[in-house]
Chain A
Amino acid sequence: MVDLLSHHLYASPRVYVRELLQNAVDAISARRLIEEFSPKVTIDTGDGTLAISDNGIGLTEPEVHELLATIGRSSKQDDLGFARREFLGQFGIGLLSCFMVADQVRVLTRSARGGSTVQWTGFGDGRYQVAPAPQRAEVGTTVSLVPRAGMENWLSQEAVANLAAWFGDLLPVPIEIGGRRINSGVLPWRRQYASPEERVRALSRYAEQTFGFTPLDAIDLYVPEAGLSGVAFVLPVAANPGASAGHRVYLRQMLLADSVESLLPDWAFFVHCVVDTSELRPTASREALYEDDLLADTQRALGTQIKDWMVELAATRPDRLEQFLSIHHLGVKAVATHDLEMLRIVDHWWPMETSAGPLTLAAFRRRFQNVRYTLTTDEFRELAGVASAQGIGVINGGYAYDVEIMQRLVLLDPTVTVSQLEPADLATRFELPDPITERCLAPLLEAGSAALEQMGADVLARGFDPPSVPALYLVNRAALQAEEMQDARASATGVWGDVLGAFDQSDEPDRPQLILNLRSPVVRRMSELTDPDLAALSVQSLYGQALLQGHHPLGPDHSALLNRAFIGLLDWAMPS
């Protein structure tokens, strides 16, 4: 049993202090049911032993025997959880945890229901004895520990005082060590304050002392069905969404753990909570919360309260909301991907990167008929300027959650159309050359098309702004996927060729396009070239430049073509 407790149930021997405090508090609660008295818990350390005394209900001799039966019955971790649910079971498991640090545990107890004082002594090897003892002066229980070799440090006054303050700071019973009280005994968010401002300051100080940061704001939490109250402190700096925020959870004012992750939804990584609950179930080790329906409901309720806080900020303190969003937009955007209220907040308050500068989605929709986005920041950098010059608004969808949020806009406004900016669509907005220009361009395009045929790209000439961009290389995702299918079919053997053929329903796929800009002075001069070789070299050069500008991949054939074009132009430029 001791092995089970120390090696499998608890993460650290330190919990023995919590277990003893829990026993003392439970005994005091039980005595309160039958009489009024002034409760207290005292801890004494000296000559290497530890004694913790309470003036709770105490045990009668039959209860001591029943206790022994209870704790001797079980050796499975799950049973421990059940045993804890009643007073004697919890008391016994609390005692057993002491054997992680002690060789000998002595219990001296006198019941408030009468009877004489009883002494139970247990030993680490499993022996125990029960004997009458001199009458204890006061009703209650004293548990004394004699340390195991090598575990003396766990019983030193400093260690015990620190652990007792750590676990029992908020316990509603005075705890004293050496005549000094070590706990506050009050939930900070339930304490009476002189004014609301004083409460805000006090909670802020509490967050500084407990979590090490001054919160941006504090959100009161309250879930009656879980007997839960507490505060969520909003972090003043951006948090890593991947790192789960640990929350400090008290169970009936005893610290359960300070890094519980399952209390809040994953998206709420921008708050750290401290809560006290009477109804959520702890695991057998009392170091985490049991994941059941009540915890799931509580998680949802707490998430709703945090969302309500944001909605209220939007309505009452928009400047504060903007400050909050500037730090924690990732968390809010994560919620907006599945929550309409948060979607509205993002829509109205979060500025996205657009071709018209930073704009909220609501403002963007007022300005542009359709919401178009790029999937990557590279694509945005390449196309935004050109799209903007054609009057097309584009949003950079390269940031986390932005594309999902844009795709969900239809839930707020069924008339909105949201689509990815396809490069080929962009090309359809460019100006076609007039018939005269088209005739003049024919030799250039013919030479250029021949030069790029081996690269599988078409060459077109269109007028578009800005004139500083001489050429654009546009390739649709569908073209890349079609190429992948073609290559797969070419390399497939056996039945795979037929199967892929059945899947390959695409008609002639769109080929990548090199679009020469007729408004570019360079291209206009190119159209006047009479030497077909030089025209080909020029088009090849612009092809390479457009590939580089668009961060497109350069394979060996591209590099070879670029080299040829570069050397060719040098050769032509220098007199022989």
Chain B
Amino acid sequence: MSLSEQELGRELVRAAELDNREAQQAALENVVVHADAGGHRRLAFHARRTLADAYTVGRQWDKAYPLLSRCLSEYDRDVSGYGPEEEYGLLEWFAFLAPTMAEFPEISLDQVDAIFNDLEQRFRTAGHNLRTVYAARRWVAQLICDWDQEQRWYQQWLAAGGPRPGNVWDFEAEIERLVRRGDDAQARQLAAPVLDGQRSFSEPPVPIQCLMLLPLARAGQFGQAARAYRGARRGMSGKRPYRYEYGGMLHEFCALTGNEWLGKEVGLSGRLLGFDTLNRPNGKMEYATSVAVLCRELVGVRPGRQGPAGREQA
């Protein structure tokens, strides 16, 4: 059965709006095969991109990479057919997906480096600023704990423009590198205006609030930590998807601050329902570790006990 390009376009929009991730992926896969069968190359390009996003939100990261590769091949086949916005969007998407490849042990670091060289070459050829590329390379260096390399890419990132104002994920990179390096004091200082509500972004400051939970608790700033915790929970209660690591940070904070039962309440059962299908190794490992810490603390703890995240001590 053949569907017209217009019908498929409508189906693509409908599928992209579906709430259920599994059903959304199936519907988008359907659009891709119909678009391929009908020879609607440009529609297939956009459907693949949307499907890849659905896979990543739906925890199936490895399925997104062949789609990215197909889109890059399609673009290379007809570079002049793509407008500047489409081209930039493709490269930004590439830069978003590329760092997560480093999480998969099947891919060697040399291969990751080669992928980044391809990414960088494409940015250079298109005449774009390399800020996004350096940010992605910095994240990979942080992931493998190569702190000298991380510092070098960080400096390159800053030299190319550094964090974009109003972008919470760029600001997160600034905070995350400090927290991962153990520099709690500087992280608290940098994050303070965000946690106080004096500085805002185009998206909720959930990643900052999550990352700062333990540094604040370690510094004995329980009131601030409790406010950050409630802010993060509020931000994560909407439809915006967050990676498992952020949920893990909530569980870990609850576990380590005497709020074990609260930690069990914050979406644990919902996240565990989809956990077995999460195939991004670092995310899986971090979340599993957080839940393990929470479970360890839960054993032998009396119900009803609450620490600083509970209202009583907020």
A residues engaging B (CB < 8 A)?
266, 293, 296, 334, 338, 375-376, 397-398, 400-404, 407-408, 410-411, 420, 477, 480-481, 484-485, 487-489, 491-496, 498-500, 502-503, 505, 547-548, 551-556, 558-559
* Residue in contact with B37 in the complex, picked from A400, A404, A492, A554, CB distance below 8 Å: A554
Q: A502-B106, A555-B37 are in contact. Are A375 and B23 (CB under 8 A)?
A: yes
- Cβ-closest chain B residue relative to A242: B17
When each residue 66-93 of chain B gets 1 if its CB lies under 8 Å from chain A and 0 otherwise, what string results? Answer: 1101101110100000000000000000
- Asked whether any CB of chain A lies closer than 8 Å to the CB of B299, the reply is no
- Asked whether any CB of chain A lies closer than 8 Å to the CB of B32, the reply is yes
Cα distance A296–B39 in the bound complex, in angstroms: 50
Cα distance A368–B64 in the bound complex, in angstroms: 36
Shortest beta-carbon distance from A559 to chain B in Å: 8
Q: Within 8 Å CB of B190, what residues of A?
A: none
Shortest beta-carbon distance from B120 to chain A in Å: 13
Chain A to chain B contacts (Cβ below 8 Å), 26 pairs: A296-B234, A338-B267, A375-B22, A375-B26, A376-B27, A402-B20, A403-B22, A411-B269, A411-B273, A477-B26, A484-B67, A485-B66, A487-B70, A491-B69, A491-B74, A492-B73, A493-B73, A493-B76, A495-B114, A495-B118, A499-B65, A500-B69, A553-B2, A553-B30, A554-B37, A555-B39
Q: Within 8 Å CB of B37, what residues of A?
A: 553-556, 558
Q: Within 8 Å CB of A498, what residues of B?
A: 111
Cα distance A548–B270 in the bound complex, in angstroms: 39
Residue among B19, B32, B270 having the largest count of chain A Cβ atoms under 10 Å: B19
- Asked whether any CB of chain A lies closer than 8 Å to the CB of B218, the reply is no
Cα distance A420–B104 in the bound complex, in angstroms: 27
- Asked whether any CB of chain A lies closer than 8 Å to the CB of B29, the reply is yes
Contact between A376 and B26, CB atoms less than 8 A apart: yes
* Residue in contact with A491 in the complex, picked from B27, B33, B73, B104, CB distance below 8 Å: B73
Cα distance A376–B28 in the bound complex, in angstroms: 11
Q: Within 8 Å CB of B114, what residues of A?
A: 494-495
Contact between A407 and B29, CB atoms less than 8 A apart: no
Q: Within 8 Å CB of B146, what residues of A?
A: none
Q: A481-B63, A496-B69 are in contact. Are A555 and B38 (CB under 8 A)?
A: yes
Segment 1-53 of B: residues with Cβ below 8 Å from A: 1-3, 18-20, 22-23, 26-27, 29-30, 32-34, 36-39
- Cβ-closest chain A residue relative to B110: A495
Contact between A484 and B111, CB atoms less than 8 A apart: no
Q: Within 8 Å CB of B39, what residues of A?
A: 555-556
- Asked whether any CB of chain A lies closer than 8 Å to the CB of B174, the reply is no
- Cβ-closest chain B residue relative to A484: B66
- Asked whether any CB of chain A lies closer than 8 Å to the CB of B101, the reply is yes
- Asked whether any CB of chain A lies closer than 8 Å to the CB of B137, the reply is no
- Cβ-closest chain B residue relative to A398: B23
Shortest beta-carbon distance from A204 to chain B in Å: 33
Q: Within 8 Å CB of B19, what residues of A?
A: 334, 400-401, 404
Contact between B2 and A480, CB atoms less than 8 A apart: no
Residue among A338, A401, A403, A548 having the largest count of chain B Cβ atoms under 10 Å: A403
Q: Within 8 Å CB of B26, what residues of A?
A: 375-376, 477
- Cβ-closest chain B residue relative to A397: B23
Contact between B111 and A495, CB atoms less than 8 A apart: yes
**Among all A-B residue pairs, the 8 with the closest Cβ atoms:** A488-B66, A555-B37, A553-B37, A495-B114, A375-B26, A491-B73, A553-B34, A502-B106
Cα distance A402–B73 in the bound complex, in angstroms: 37
Cα distance A555–B44 in the bound complex, in angstroms: 13
Q: Within 8 Å CB of B106, what residues of A?
A: 502-503, 505
Residue among A400, A408, A495 having the largest count of chain B Cβ atoms under 10 Å: A495
* Residue in contact with B70 in the complex, picked from A376, A488, A552, A554, CB distance below 8 Å: A488
Shortest beta-carbon distance from B67 to chain A in Å: 7
Q: Within 8 Å CB of B111, what residues of A?
A: 495, 498-499, 502
Shortest beta-carbon distance from A423 to chain B in Å: 12
- Asked whether any CB of chain A lies closer than 8 Å to the CB of B230, the reply is yes
Q: Within 8 Å CB of A411, what residues of B?
A: 269, 273
Contact between B238 and A266, CB atoms less than 8 A apart: yes
Shortest beta-carbon distance from A412 to chain B in Å: 11
Contact between A420 and B70, CB atoms less than 8 A apart: no
Shortest beta-carbon distance from B184 to chain A in Å: 25
Cα distance A547–B1 in the bound complex, in angstroms: 7
Contact between B270 and A477, CB atoms less than 8 A apart: no
Q: A296-B234, A376-B26, A420-B22 are in contact. Are A503 and B62 (CB under 8 A)?
A: yes
Contact between A481 and B20, CB atoms less than 8 A apart: no
Cα distance A376–B72 in the bound complex, in angstroms: 30
Contact between A401 and B20, CB atoms less than 8 A apart: yes
Q: Within 8 Å CB of B230, what residues of A?
A: 293, 296
Contact between A491 and B70, CB atoms less than 8 A apart: yes
Q: Within 8 Å CB of B101, what residues of A?
A: 499
Shortest beta-carbon distance from B239 to chain A in Å: 8
Shortest beta-carbon distance from B203 to chain A in Å: 14
- Cβ-closest chain B residue relative to A297: B311
Cα distance A411–B270 in the bound complex, in angstroms: 9
- Cβ-closest chain B residue relative to A554: B2
Cα distance A407–B72 in the bound complex, in angstroms: 35
- Cβ-closest chain A residue relative to B234: A296
* Residue in contact with B65 in the complex, picked from A293, A500, A551, CB distance below 8 Å: A500
Cα distance A461–B293 in the bound complex, in angstroms: 54
Shortest beta-carbon distance from A456 to chain B in Å: 13
* Residue in contact with B115 in the complex, picked from A480, A487, A495, A559, CB distance below 8 Å: A495
Residue among B2, B20, B111 having the largest count of chain A Cβ atoms under 10 Å: B20
9 additional A-B pairs beyond A296-B230, A397-B23, A491-B74, beta carbons within 8 Å, are: A334-B19, A375-B26, A480-B33, A488-B70, A495-B115, A496-B115, A503-B62, A503-B66, A559-B2
- Cβ-closest chain B residue relative to A491: B73
Q: Within 8 Å CB of A404, what residues of B?
A: 19-20
Shortest beta-carbon distance from B167 to chain A in Å: 21
Contact between A553 and B70, CB atoms less than 8 A apart: no
Q: Within 8 Å CB of A503, what residues of B?
A: 62, 65-66, 104, 106-107
Shortest beta-carbon distance from A338 to chain B in Å: 6
Residue among A338, A485, A496 having the largest count of chain B Cβ atoms under 10 Å: A496
Cα distance A549–B273 in the bound complex, in angstroms: 35
Shortest beta-carbon distance from B76 to chain A in Å: 7
Cα distance A553–B273 in the bound complex, in angstroms: 33
Contact between B33 and A488, CB atoms less than 8 A apart: no
Shortest beta-carbon distance from A530 to chain B in Å: 33
Shortest beta-carbon distance from A201 to chain B in Å: 37
Q: Within 8 Å CB of A547, what residues of B?
A: 1
Contact between A499 and B115, CB atoms less than 8 A apart: yes
Residue among A397, A480, A492, A503 having the largest count of chain B Cβ atoms under 10 Å: A503
Cα distance A49–B239 in the bound complex, in angstroms: 51
Q: Within 8 Å CB of A492, what residues of B?
A: 69, 73
Contact between A488 and B1, CB atoms less than 8 A apart: no
Contact between B30 and A376, CB atoms less than 8 A apart: yes
Q: Within 8 Å CB of A402, what residues of B?
A: 20
Contact between A500 and B66, CB atoms less than 8 A apart: yes
Shortest beta-carbon distance from B62 to chain A in Å: 5
Q: Within 8 Å CB of B63, what residues of A?
A: 481
Q: A375-B23, A503-B65 are in contact. Are A551 and B72 (CB under 8 A)?
A: no
- Cβ-closest chain B residue relative to A555: B37
When each residue 92-113 of chain B gets 1 if its CB lies under 8 Å from chain A and 0 otherwise, what string results? Answer: 0000000001001011000100
Contact between A477 and B69, CB atoms less than 8 A apart: no
